[in-house]
Amino acid sequence: MVDHKSSQVKYVFVTGGVSSSLGKGIISASLAKLLQARGYSVTIQKLDPYINVDPGTLNPYEHGECFVTDDGAETDLDLGHYERFLNVPTSQSNNVTTGRIYQTVINKEREGAYLGKTVQVIPHITDEIKRRIQLLGDTGKFEIVITEIGGTVGDIESLPFIEAVRQMIWEHGSSCAVIHLTLLPYLTVTGELKTKPTQHSVKTLLEYGVQPDILVCRSEKPVNAEIRRKLALFCNVNVNAVIESLDASTIYDVPLMMLKEQLDKVVLAKLKLPLRHEPDMESWKNFLGKLKNPTSEVRIGLIGKYIELKDAYKSIAEALIHAGVSNETKVVVDWIHSSKVDEGNVADKMRNLHGILVAPGFGDRGIEGKIRAIRYARENKIPFLGICLGMQCAVIEFSRNVLGMTDAHSTEMNADTKYPVIDIMEDQKKVTRKGGTMRLGEYPCQVVKNTKAAGVYGKQRIMERHRHRYEFNNKYLKKFEDAGMVPSGINPDSNLVEIVEIKNHPWFIGVQFHPEYKSTVENPHPLFVKFIKAALDHSR
């Protein structure tokens, strides 16, 4: 890889104002995509102001899905967008929380690194924040680092991050650019877009010593020239640096919308970088074309226990979209609450599905509903994909209903089960601390020849990302194989079963890992692609 001098690395900061949930992650990823398409090497980092050391300990209801990187970081779901847009893996360094910053500083204090000094937010905490921002620049892999600051300007907890941005600008000057993402509310009564909240938000940023260079304005109506001039005047930005960001029908539209608004050009001008060439977005446009013009449609049941919050399954939902595009098929997702599936209604809920996907999860809420749905998929020969807990449930279902092991279970749900077909890994038994202690990140898997999995991957050695503590219990392996549920992927080092499939079923695959984390626009994941293909065949 090219070694870019860290002194020449440029930094773009993305802050948010007026409201949360305006889509800083998508704007950051879209900008990165355009810069990448002009030939720049770019990465994106997310700074999260909360005190958890990482989101691994957060309930998905709090924070949506926990994304996992190759190197085993449990991260914010925005990193998933970064990877899906850029097709470049992120790492531990791409997500930093206040908790992580304080933990580092406090550990250093205990080690005597600041001996004699009072340890303070400024400079010690802000120095650590700046070090973390520059860590990615210092790898020599990137010309531009985009740092998204979580939360909204004015939040008490994001203050040290904004202060670190101010210091970075003070120290690096024209190597930095600040984008402020804001909302222009539309007042139906007067029929106007209002700029005042943005003016106030920029004032707050100015109070902290940060002048934004670019305003990206979320709006449900077009932002006319007059409003752009007004915003430019009140917020000290060039009028061409007021960028409109209209609501999009899909997140994959946003890079092209930003291209039209010339966000990439404005950023490069501010950073004093050449435009190089026009962004090559051909394959992206091709993807969008197929996304918007499907030739067929399939209905996939996604069975999980966080159905009320679709962000809890973000990567799965996106991987299904990528796979749909590969098959030129619209994937309609039927979000099914696992707690609400039972013997009495399972047929009604599953009858119209062309594929059934059982989601990952922890704990026993909704577990019997998942197992019931899997039985339906197995017996009715509906294409099935089980991910992590979904795979474990498929093993439990098979042991109970095919092998006759009444009450077989995972020891996660029933520690005293007579048939612990899913059991805790030996080296997990002594783990008591939470956070970063599961089997996490990328592990190799050897795909078994002449299996469905071998056909899916088309190669024998694969690398997939994990996040779990429990495993298929190899003690029972022979019984499963004899009855037709075979292991089709094995970890070559530990012999753990990573993939299972049922021989006399058109398409029934359970995976202990998380393929969804690796699906990108450029590289849709083969398991999802083939699952949708199987669903399509089933629908016909």
Q: Which of 47, 22, 10, 76 is nearest to 164 (CA)?
A: 47
Q: Which of 58/88 has CB closer to ligand GLN? A: 58
Q: Enumerate the β-bridge partners of residue 501.
A: 486, 509
Which range, of 37-45, 317-325, 355-363, 483-491, touches ligand GLN by CB under 6 A?
355-363
Q: Which residues are catalytic?
A: 388, 514, 516
106 token code pair: 């406090």
Binding segment (CB under 6 A) for ligand GLN, from list 157-165, 261-269, 271-279, 467-475: 467-475
Applying CB under 6 A, the span of 49-57, 162-170, 339-347, 356-364 interacting with ligand GLN comes to 356-364
Helix, strand, or coil (residue 141): coil
- 468 is an interface residue for ligand GLN by CB under 6 A: yes
What is the CB-side half-sphere exposure of residue 354 using CA atoms within 13 A? 20
The residue among 235 and 395 lying less far from ligand GLN, judged by its C-beta, is 395
- 306 makes contact with ligand GLN (CB under 6 A): no
With contact defined as beta carbons under 8 Å apart, do 44 and 94 qualify? Answer: yes
* CB 375 to ligand GLN: min, Å: 19
Stretch that binds ligand GLN, among 139-147, 336-344, 357-365, 497-505 (CB under 6 A): 357-365
Question: Quick check: 355 binds ligand GLN (CB under 6 A)?
Answer: no
Q: Name the 3-class secondary structure at 434.
A: coil
- Structure-token pair, residue 177: 């650019």
123 cis-preceded (ω within 30 degrees of 0)? yes
Give 285-336 as a DSSP string: HHHHHHHHS-SEEEEEEEEES-TT-GGGGHHHHHHHHHHHHHTTEEEEEEEE
**Among the listed residues 380, 374, 331, 332, the one whose alpha carbon sits nearest the alpha carbon of residue 356:** 374
Q: Judged by CB under 6 A, which of 82, 470, 517, 528 binds ligand GLN? A: 470
> What is the nearest approach in angstroms of ligand GLN to the Cβ of residue 309?
16
> Are the beta carbons of 181 and 17 closer than 8 angstroms?
yes
Return the DSSP state at 45: E
Candidates 178, 242, 388, 440: give the one binding ligand GLN (CB under 6 A).
Answer: 388
Greatest alpha-carbon pair distance for the chain in Å reads 75
Decide: is 513 part of the binding site for ligand GLN (CB under 6 A).
no
Q: How far is the CB of 330 from ligand GLN (least distance, A)?
A: 27
Out of 141, 230, 381, 469, the only residue in the binding site for ligand GLN (CB under 6 A) is 469
> In angstroms, rounded to a whole number, what is the distance separating the alpha carbons of residues 475 and 405?
14
Q: Cα separation of 194 and 230, whole Å?
A: 11
Q: Which CB sits closer to ligand GLN, 83 or 412? A: 412
CB of 387 to ligand GLN, least distance (A): 7
| Closest distance to ligand GLN from the beta carbon of 127 (Å) | 36
389 binds ligand GLN, rule: CB under 6 A: yes
When asked if residue 412 is in the footprint of ligand GLN (CB under 6 A), the reply is yes
Question: Which residue in this structure is represented by tokens 């997140």?
Answer: 251
The verdict on 370 binding ligand GLN (CB under 6 A) reads no
Residues that bind ligand GLN (CB under 6 A): 360-362, 388-389, 412, 467-470
